[in-house]
Amino acid sequence: MHDVLDRAKVPHLIQNVGPMISIFLTTGPIDGIHEYRDVRRYCDFAKYIRLQHKVQRSGVYYHPNQFEPLFLSTAHTSEDISLALDRLEQAVAGLDG
């Protein structure tokens, strides 16, 4: 996910603990998200929801709120992950602003 967003030059921060992943689209480069105020200060909520809608329309669902993490599980195959990343890349390519 980081590579996809990086190639598209979309400012972001991805944090994880094991299989729990948080994606934050940001207004610019930041060092980290440590508390709620950081999310409110640095995150681009409108861009995140536009991206989430585009990805969801392509058949991949994740929560439409940056406060909610994504979870990987052993039920996700390598093919599932590759497909989700391909669809994310397609959505990011068409993301405006």
Residue 5 has pLDDT above 60, yes or no: yes
**Global confidence as pTM:** 0.87
Phi, psi of 40 (to 5 degrees): -65, -35
Nearest to 66 by CA among 15, 31, 29: 15
pLDDT (tens digit, 9 = 90+) per residue, 26-82? 999 998 889 989 989 999 999 999 999 999 999 999 888 888 889 999 999 999 999
Helical spans, DSSP H, in the chain: 2-7, 36-42, 45-57, 78-93
Hey, what CATH topology would domain 2-93 get? Aspartate Aminotransferase, domain 1 (3.90.1150)
**What is the structure's pLDDT at 65?**
87
How many helices (H) and strands (E) are present in the chain, helices listed first? Answer: 4, 3
The residue ranges of every structural domain in the chain are 2-93
Q: Contact, 64 vs 47, CB < 8 A?
A: no
pLDDT (tens digit, 9 = 90+) per residue, 78-93? 999 999 999 999 999 9
